[in-house]
Amino acid sequence: MAIAAIPHDAHGEVDQLYVETRELRLQGFLLFLISDCVLFSSFIFAYLYLRNTGQGWPPPGIARLDVAFAAWNSVVLFGSGATMHYALENWKHGNFMKYMWMLIATIILGAMFLGGQGYEYHHLIFDEKVTWAGSGIFGASFFTLTGMHGFHVFMGVCYLTVLLLQTAAGTYTYQKYFGITAGTLYWHFVDVIWVVLFSIFYLL
């Protein structure tokens, strides 16, 4: 098993504070992600329960969602998960420029996903007349859950942009990079949540 490198400060001495708090920071961040899972799970199970009490799905007067477009948008988001993974791996191996390009690609793909979601919302609201308040359980559930996820993606894009600026400014070293690790975990989290949302809204 590989042994993690011991972080050192600018003078070459062991950064004891970072060593002592690194695991605590990771545990705290994982608890944050778990709490987010609980939030999404509550809305997802409520939606599934209410959906199964109806006569048919989608409700009368509402066409099925555009699966092909959502699948394309999903590929964009999952692609960003791959680029974020390789960004972290390149940082661990000291490949600064590859890390930067992978991080920039992740930010661009995340923004593209949000653009696709905005286009879909515009089509549903103005062309299909499907709204949050006027389309029953389906409309309320769809816009609430995908909107929550979209907000998380937006915050992730903002966070990754901050990481990009911090990295360019020399905030992180090849031994001290918890912020990059947290960004990667968060981005994989939004990928996993989208797998569930895509399944229940577009495939079931």
Angstrom distance (rounded) from CA 202 to CA 198: 5
The alpha carbon of 164 is separated from its chain's Cα centroid by a whole number of angstroms, namely 17
pLDDT at 32: 96
pLDDT at 1: 32
Q: What share of the chain is helix, strand, coil (3-state, %, to 5)?
A: 75, 0, 25
Q: State the amino acid at position 192 in one-letter form.
A: V
Angstrom distance (rounded) from CA 32 to CA 81: 19
pLDDT at 7: 53
pTM more than 0.85:
yes
Angstrom distance (rounded) from CA 139 to CA 130: 6
Buried-exposed string 64-98: b where 16+ CB fall within 10 A, e elsewhere: ebeeeebeebbebbebbbebbbbbbebbeeeeeee
pLDDT by position in tens, the chain (length 204)? 333 444 555 444 546 677 677 788 889 999 999 999 999 999 999 999 988 886 677 788 888 899 999 999 999 999 999 999 999 999 999 999 999 999 999 999 999 999 999 999 999 999 999 999 888 889 999 999 999 999 999 999 999 999 999 999 999 988 889 999 999 999 999 999 999 999 999 998
Write the CB contacts of 130 (distance below 8 Å, at least 6 apart in sequence).
62, 124, 138, 139, 142
Structural domains in the chain, CATH included, are: 68-203 (1.20.120.80)
